[in-house]
Chains A and B, each alone.
Chain A
Amino acid sequence: MRDRKFILLLTLASILLVLLNLPAPVSRKVESSVREGISPLQQAVSGFGARIKEALIALRGLGGLARENRELSSEMVRLQNETRLLRSLAAENSELRKQLGFAQRNVNEYIPCEVTGRDVSGWWQTIRLSKGVGDRVGENRAVISAEGLVGKTIDVSVHTADVLLISDPACKVSAKISRTGAFGIVTGRGVSPRGRAVCRMEFINKNISVLPGDEVFTSGLGGVFPQGLLIGYVEKVYTDRDGLYQSAEIEPKADLGMVSYVFVESRGDPVDEFMRARRQEGGEGR
């Protein structure tokens, strides 16, 4: 009996040792296989949940449909006018750039994805998407919602992608305040007890005025996030303890806790295309 117990203990210890010391590519492959295996069930359950949620929203909104329709119609007219104006401005801008000899800005493509789950451990602020390398979603790509920046992709398998939200302390975004052009780094600060995602913009020049309500956009520096994506608004400004810089509390525009559909930036790099083809050929996870 004692021998059996010892053998069991030894076997388990060996399995754990092997697991903990697996080479990174092997460990990634194991993780990826498990994720791919569970992904269909996860998608089915989250899809069912989303449908119930939509049905409840529809039921709740039945009474106010006519009013909502009126509001949406007027909003559409306003947006159509705005689009017309923006089109003429874009054409004018493009012409001026050409005249000045500037390079034309790349218009990035965005891939729509459904959110199928959140970090199962609760330690990180991440979400899982329903698309992966097979759908041209690459690693380290900006993820946005209709409201603003959501995060960046970190782990991508053939049919899933994990996104690190901007509210996670490990996520850092180079940012710019639109009114003054002041640069800084936006870092996640988790979620407040009230459930709001919290971010902080650090290393802002102390001589530049920053006011509550100022819009914060991505600066385009750093190579991951393209320029001009709305991150959020300044809530509170204060000087750092050492007095060298200013910091600001930022309220992200995107509702990170409730987001269910997002868009992943796709740059269509030749390297991405090559990696995608290779992974699909080999059936490799990531």
Chain B
Amino acid sequence: MSVVIMIFLLVCGAVLQAIVPTGPAMGQVRLPVLLGLVIYYSLLKPRKTALNAALLAGLLQDALSMIPLGFSSFCFILTAWIINSWREEVFTRHWLTHMLLGLAAVPANLLVMFVLLTQARVLVLPWSGLLLKLWGSIVTGAIFVPLVCRAAETLEVKLGMLEARES
């Protein structure tokens, strides 16, 4: 059941990421829905589930864009591994944790992906464009990762797969 929910969330996330338009002032970065879900799974689930989610999210992102297959999976797995290793040290269900992780992970992923894509010679992007994207990724990461985590958490609580938060 949890695998089905994970696939459902990731597919919906990919569709949402592909459809919702982004502002030019944010460097045209997409809403980090898939990365938000990877962060959610890394914080709240065992390592194996988190890494599976990262692999699948990466596959979806690569298949729906011009990114060579495996690049996004690599970035997402790295993110999931690091966050999952530190999850005992943080408040896993607190919005501030989600916001700080979004603030750090989204721009970090963007930079790693930029290096990979330029090394593979599949991307032409001026430095000004990268800086604008970096700014956009910081803002969208801080705002949307907590929202994505909250939405996924609410769904799992409603389905009885996660205990409701203590008020």
Contacts and interface: CB of A to CB of B under 8 A. Distances in A.
Q: Please classify the interface of chain B as helix (H, G, I), strand (E, B), loop, or mixed, using the class held by over half of its residues.
A: helix
B15 interface: yes
Contact of A34 (B60, B77, B129): B60
Q: How big is the B interface, by class?
A: 35 or more
Contacts of B125: 123, 169
B143 interface: no
B61 interface: yes
Contacts of B73: 15-16, 19
Given A8-B51, A15-B55, A122-B30, A193 B18 contact: no
Contacts, number: 127
Given A34-B59, A162-B66, A194-B24, A121 B51 contact: no
Contacts of B63: 30-32, 34-35, 38
Contacts of B59: 19, 30, 34
Interface string B13-42: 011111101111101111000000000000
A187 B142 CA distance: 34
Interface of B: 11-12, 14-19, 21-25, 27-30, 47-48, 51, 55, 59-74, 77, 113, 117, 123-126, 129, 132-133
Interface of A: 5, 8, 12, 15-16, 19-20, 22, 27, 30-32, 34-35, 38, 41-42, 45-46, 49, 117-126, 128, 154-155, 162, 169-170, 190-196, 257
Given A34-B60, A38-B15, A121-B65, 9 more contacts: A16-B70, A27-B69, A35-B64, A42-B18, A118-B19, A120-B60, A169-B124, A170-B124, A193-B132
- A-B interface, 5 closest residue pairs, ranked by CB to CB distance from nearest: A19-B70, A34-B63, A121-B65, A117-B18, A20-B70
